[in-house]
Copies of this chain bind each other. A is one copy, B any other.
């Protein structure tokens, strides 16, 4: 299709009404004037809308990818007309990191990160001189926040970071319903196989995991959840899922989808047990959840792309195991990523987090900041309005009632 990049960005934009409202305001107020914003995100249409929004707010914006497989090349082509973009689908790890370095070399005042690779790079000695220019960063993922908390705990965090992932209007929706839907999209696009009547193992019952488990069940799968946290395990049970150790679950799995934020979740032992024909996919941030090295070692032959973005591993014992998107997040590497209306909320919060950093220049400590609930509330109200949904309001009497304790 001609102009597909432009068309897809326009389509996304039309389905992101909250961000559009914020964009109008930013355009008017120009809060990012004289500021450089360096972003590492999945370079696809919704991200393009965010980048253009920040630019409209006065920023000098540089965008690079945060994943070798999630880039949509037509988006890059279109976006390059407006701002520098460093990304191509299928780039190497080396090219990925070259992109990080390139946007960091621009001397950003604000950094928007997805997985905290860029933030980690900024903590290397060679970047020491540019720290003073940094108002702060904003992080998009659970994985990234986990790393930042470790950094903060060690007392080494060098600038303030907004935990945008933790905003309720972000992780309640993006991580759960966004990842849930886009993982289905990735699996359907990648395999054209039946989900109904199959057994799906979902590793991790965090926000992403429960979204995936819910949608896999919604598509007719019988879902097994694996967890390390006993509370989440009991929740999964009460939500009607089976729970068992991953190595046990693997025996029954037609699909295994990881979403834990940890490494080696599907390890050699799980792979040893895996059912022949099993499809492996990862929806966690990094491609370390499935131990691909172990898989390769068990294989006598590997066939790249037996179908687009599906690799076949022919194990020595005769089983075939399929891996989607090289173990990179299946929803973006194989599917089209989160739906536009979900990213409308996430990226509205990203824009507001950047605005918060700009407006609180000099007032913030080198800590991980939670997004103020007022921003969540604002996004929620704009979203409801955009959806045309009305809700109740507390009467004065009700407000008093819930604030009183007397008999």
Q: Which residues of A contact B (CB under 8 A)?
A: 1, 4, 7-8, 10-12, 15, 45, 116-117, 120-121, 146-148, 150-151, 154, 168-169, 172-173, 176-177, 180-181, 184-185, 188-189, 191-197, 215, 217-222, 226-231, 233-235, 237-246, 248, 261-264, 288, 305-308, 310, 335-337, 339-342, 376-377, 380-381, 383-384, 387, 389-395, 397-398, 401-407
Contact = CB atoms under 8 A, between A and B. Distances in A.
B151 A391 contact: no
Given A116-B405, A234-B380, A340-B194, A393 B181 contact: no
Which residue, of A191, A234, A381, has the highest number of chain B Cβ atoms within 10 A?
Answer: A234
A306 B11 contact: yes
B169 A195 contact: no
A108 B242 CA distance: 44
A45 to B, nearest CB: 8
A339 B391 CA distance: 33
Which residue, of A243, A337, A391, A407, has the highest number of chain B Cβ atoms within 10 A?
Answer: A391
A354 B376 CA distance: 37
Given A218-B220, A226-B392, A387 B237 contact: yes
B1 A308 contact: yes
A105 to B, nearest CB: 17
A7 B306 CA distance: 6
A4 to B, nearest CB: 7
Nearest to A337: B192
A376 B184 CA distance: 31
Given A1-B308, A405-B147, A391 B192 contact: no
A228 B392 contact: yes
B196 A240 contact: yes
Given A181-B196, A215-B219, 16 more contacts: A154-B405, A172-B234, A173-B238, A181-B188, A181-B194, A181-B220, A184-B219, A188-B189, A221-B240, A228-B393, A231-B376, A233-B384, A234-B380, A244-B389, A262-B398, A262-B401
A334 B390 CA distance: 33
Given A172-B231, A185-B189, A218-B217, A150 B404 contact: yes
A340 B192 contact: yes
A391 B226 contact: yes
A188 B336 contact: yes
B117 A407 contact: yes
Nearest to A339: B194
Contact of A407 (B12, B121, B248, B402): B121
A221 B241 CA distance: 8
B392 A227 contact: yes
A281 to B, nearest CB: 15
A147 B400 CA distance: 11
A237 B402 CA distance: 25
Nearest to A195: B181
B391 A342 contact: no
B402 A243 contact: no
A257 to B, nearest CB: 15
A168 B231 contact: yes
B261 A402 contact: yes
A7 B311 CA distance: 12
A215 to B, nearest CB: 6
A181 B197 CA distance: 12
Nearest to A151: B405
A213 B383 CA distance: 22
A127 to B, nearest CB: 12
